[in-house]
Amino acid sequence: MKGKLKILIAEDSAEFKTSSSDIFAENGFEEKFCEKDGIKVVESIRTFKPDVVLMDIFMSNIDGVGVMRSVKNIKDVKSPVFVILSGFDSLMHMQRGNRV
C-alpha cells in the first residue's frame, strides 16, 4: 500500500475528534474532520479525496444518501467507501425514520 489511507470524518463533537484522532493515526489513516453538513462533506470529498468517509445519515443541507449521490457527479474523484452511522436520541426521531 502506498501512503496512508485517507479518512474524512463528518463530526461536530470536539470530544470525538480528540479521542479518535490518535486511534486513526495509529492505524495508518490520515484523517480530516469536517462539520456534519452535507454540502461541506461533498466539498471536502472533492478537495481531500478520501478513501473512506465516516458520516451520519442525518446532516444539515444534504443527508448521507444525498452526499453519496452527489459524489457520483464529481469528476476526477474516485468514490470513497462510505460508512454511515446514526443514532436516535428520541422516540420522535425513531418514528419519523420509520415513515421514510
Identify any residues that bridge with 26 across adjacent strands, giving them in sequence order. Answer: none
Identify any residues that bridge with 83 across adjacent strands, giving them in sequence order. Answer: 54
Q: Which helix (DSSP H) or strand (DSSP E) does residue 83 occupy? A: strand 81-85
The 10s digit of each residue's pLDDT in 50-88 is 999 999 999 999 999 999 999 988 888 888 999 998 776
Residue with cell 459524489: 71
Band of residue 96 on the pLDDT scale cut at 50, 70, 90:
low
**Residue 37, SS3 per DSSP:** strand
Would you say domain 5-98 falls under CATH 3.40.50.2300?
A: yes
This prediction's pTM: 0.80
Mean of per-residue pLDDT scores for the chain? 86
92-100: long-range contacts, CB 8 A cutoff, minimum separation 24 = none
Q: Residue 98's pLDDT is what?
A: 52
Band of residue 25 on the pLDDT scale cut at 50, 70, 90:
confident
